Chain A
Amino acid sequence: MVQTTRRRLASIGAAILASPAFVRGARAADAVRIGAIYPLSGATASAGTALRNALEVALDIVNNPHPDLAKLPLAAGSGLPGLGGSKVEIIFSDHQGNPATAQSQAVRLISQERVAALTGCYQSSATLTASAAAERYNIPFVAGEASAPSLTTRGYKWFFRTTPIGTHFGVAYADFLGLAKQNGIPVNTVAVVNENTEYGTSVSEAIIKAMQEKGLKISLHIPYSANSSDVSAQVLQLKDTKPDAVVFVSYTSDSILYMKTMHNLAYKPPVLIGDDSGFSDASFIEAVGDLAEGCINRSSWDIGKPGSVTSIVNEMFKKRAGHDMDDTSARGLQGFLVLCDAINRAGSTDKQKVQAALQATDLKADQLMIGYDGVKFGADGQNERAATLLVQLHDKNYITVWPEQAAAQPVKLPFQGWSN
């Protein structure tokens, strides 16, 4: 009896060791393999899953012909023409929100799965550690979503970031608030409410700095613990101080809680800005969209008119995810397309050539599916042409309202909020 148990254990062990995770088996010839590390489980899994859907849409765009998306590089044909039509393959990996796991997964993807490049990781902490591994192994890493400034101050040569970061957002908000004056809403004091994990802290710091440089006074700064059960105290503080504008830097659950609490305590700031993340999430719009009518948000992504490139891409995403694409997923999608374009121009998966191709990237605004002014990386790896738009929530849809030349309709102030 012990014999059979031993044999059974041995066969299970062999099955595990033989699984694709551990063994490099036969692969599709010439496929270009890219590793993608995202939080596919844990508290931020919904963002990670949305990003996975977005990347699969990008894969579809690159690998299959899409004549209606012809202005996007690599969309018209199949695969990468620079590599003889090779298809691209993505190996997804879950870092569970843990930076150490992100690093381990990066090492696994590089050494076991032999990927040509990496992308990811949504959270800045995970992106930090995963890209550190990539740097040690000299593997190109393109980050499409993480916004912590520290990612591009490390002097890395293999790290590239396409998305705008905290400093961009701060400047955008500050400029916008200057504009609010022209709409009859004088804004002199601003309150910043941020959740105190890495996202909220780094973005709020950048926002405060930008506001102060523009001569705005920060009348209240409320860092709070994410996932609080009750925020009445904070809203009451706001009600007491009466700032001219409030900026929230929160994840979804907190954003929903704040809107509900503000509604219940009858507090409406003249201008309400919600910094992406929580406010862009589909669950936010569904839960409290009718309470947040007129709130301002930042987004580099705009669905656009039916028939436009962005609208078509949105439809592709909607088919997979069941809801419209949000800003974060769109930025991840664009980052991946930039990476594929670079590999294509490199004409091979050789690390040095891909790195050189990334450094030489020079994309114009009309070659992108997102609202940047283009893609060109500085010496620190940051996209110098990254930009953000400001959108306003109307009838549960975000419409672009700033900068004025990109606006679909003029901004409506003050913040309307709930109607009852």
Chain B
Amino acid sequence: MILLQVVVSGLLMGSVYALFSSGLTLVWGMMNVINFAHGDFVMLAMYVAFFAFTLAGLGPVAFVPLAAALLFVLGVAVYMLLIRHVMRGPMLAQILGTFGLALLLRYAAFWAFSANFVTLPDTLVGGTLVLGGLRLEAARLVGGLTALLLTIGMHLMLTRTSLGSRLLAVAEDRQAAMLMGIRPDRMQALAWGLAAASTGIAGALIALFFYVSPTVGENLALIAFVVVCLGGFGSVPGALLAGLAVGVIEALSAFWAGAVYKDVMVYALFLLVLWFRPQGLLGKA
């Protein structure tokens, strides 16, 4: 029973990982650009949620879409001002660009919000559901399920709508897409906006049950990379599976091997995947 509880906790956390990683995998698959600032986007979204609540009294139903919208704008802006230019340059420039952005965002957050931890009150989405012998924190349950639905939604959008097929076309072959009358620049900007929006939602959801501080981005970024690599670049279903897997592996290794080794397990798994199956579980080779 305790084991089941551990696995369920892992799955819930994992679906949140899946959500913000699905945005990253889209960007990565389309443009071959790593966004080192991805974790800090999530961090900003958490602050949006916090301030929306404390300054305007908005609840999650309002601040989750708000965070998504604001982060969407940020994503597009980052693409237009930075990514579009560094993409044409050497890889070093791409890495530097997003790393610099990550540092800038993180320390600007320190400056603007101070290093104090802040939390949303438990009453927002509070309480614990008891199902069978399982105790599920309502906030995590809501967060996890929403993340799951949205990830599936994103996958459906990509594969079943014409907008989605246009995005995927650019990812597959930029030149051919241009010849078909698709504007790659616009699609790429949109992809960045969507990726950022997914961090917006994920961050706002996480803020329901986790503390908010400028440092949360660092850890989450690494997890996002692991999930994306494991799932396969460009594959949203891959990100979903991998996110859930990472969540469960983290929880199980914390329970069995001791909490300090949970990160080790995740990184070791990551390296193994890179060595044996670099395209990830569901990615294209």
Contact = CB atoms under 8 A, between A and B. Distances in A.
Direct contact of A and B (CB under 8 A): yes
Interface of A: 41-46, 49, 196, 222-225, 227-234, 236-237, 239-240, 252-253, 256-257, 260-261, 263-266, 283, 287
B179 interface: no
A43 B107 CA distance: 10
Given A222-B259, A233-B259, A266-B135, A43 B6 contact: no
Instruction: Rank and list the top 4 A-B pairs by shortest CB-CB distance, nearest first.
Output: A224-B259, A45-B115, A233-B254, A233-B255
A44 to B, nearest CB: 7
A43 B3 CA distance: 34
B260 A196 contact: yes
Contacts of B9: 230, 232-233
A222 B213 CA distance: 25
Interface in B87-144: 107, 110, 114-119, 122, 128, 135, 137
A236 B250 CA distance: 14
A271 B107 CA distance: 39
Contacts of A223: 258-260
B251 interface: yes
B210 A229 contact: yes
A263 B209 CA distance: 13
A231 B118 contact: no
B215 A265 contact: no
Secondary structure of the B contact surface, majority rule: helix
Contacts of B137: 260-261, 264
A324 to B, nearest CB: 15
Nearest to A267: B135
B5 interface: yes
B55 interface: no
Contacts, number: 97
A41 B117 contact: no
A265 B110 contact: no
A43 B219 CA distance: 13
Interface string B247-265: 0001110110011101100
A287 B207 CA distance: 13
B211 A44 contact: no
B260 A253 contact: no
A257 B135 contact: no
Contact of B211 (A231, A232, A257): A257
A265 B122 CA distance: 15
Interface of B: 2, 5-6, 9-10, 13, 107, 110, 114-119, 122, 128, 135, 137, 209-211, 213, 215-216, 219-220, 250-252, 254-255, 258-260, 262-263
B114 A232 contact: no
A201 B141 CA distance: 33
A230 B144 CA distance: 13
Contacts of B259: 222-225, 228, 231, 233-234
Contacts of A236: 2, 5-6, 255
Contact of A233 (B6, B118, B209, B215): B6
B115 A44 contact: yes
B2 A240 contact: yes
Contact of A283 (B10, B116, B252): B116
Contacts of B216: 227
B14 to A, nearest CB: 10
Contacts of A43: 115, 213, 215
Contacts of B251: 230, 232-233
B195 to A, nearest CB: 21
Contacts of A233: 6, 9, 251-252, 254-255, 259, 262
Contacts of B210: 229, 257
B177 to A, nearest CB: 38
A217 to B, nearest CB: 19
B263 A225 contact: yes
Contacts of A45: 110, 114-115
A42 B13 contact: no
A95 to B, nearest CB: 14
24 contacts: A41-B110, A42-B110, A42-B115, A43-B213, A45-B114, A46-B117, A49-B114, A196-B260, A222-B258, A224-B259, A225-B260, A227-B219, A228-B254, A233-B254, A233-B259, A233-B262, A234-B254, A236-B2, A252-B117, A253-B117, A256-B119, A261-B137, A264-B128, A287-B117
A307 B225 CA distance: 57
Nearest to B253: A233
Contacts of A264: 128, 135, 137
B211 A253 contact: yes
B61 to A, nearest CB: 22
Given A45-B110, A261-B137, 9 more contacts: A225-B259, A227-B219, A228-B254, A229-B219, A230-B251, A236-B5, A237-B255, A256-B119, A266-B128
A232 B5 contact: yes
Contacts of B118: 283
Q: Most chain-A CB neighbours within 10 Å: which of B9, B107, B259?
A: B259
B122 A260 contact: yes
Contacts of B5: 232, 236, 265
A234 B253 CA distance: 11
Contacts of B10: 230
A279 to B, nearest CB: 13
A111 B110 CA distance: 30
Nearest to A39: B115
Contacts of B107: 41
Nearest to B216: A227
B219 A46 contact: no
B114 A46 contact: yes
Contacts of B215: 43, 227
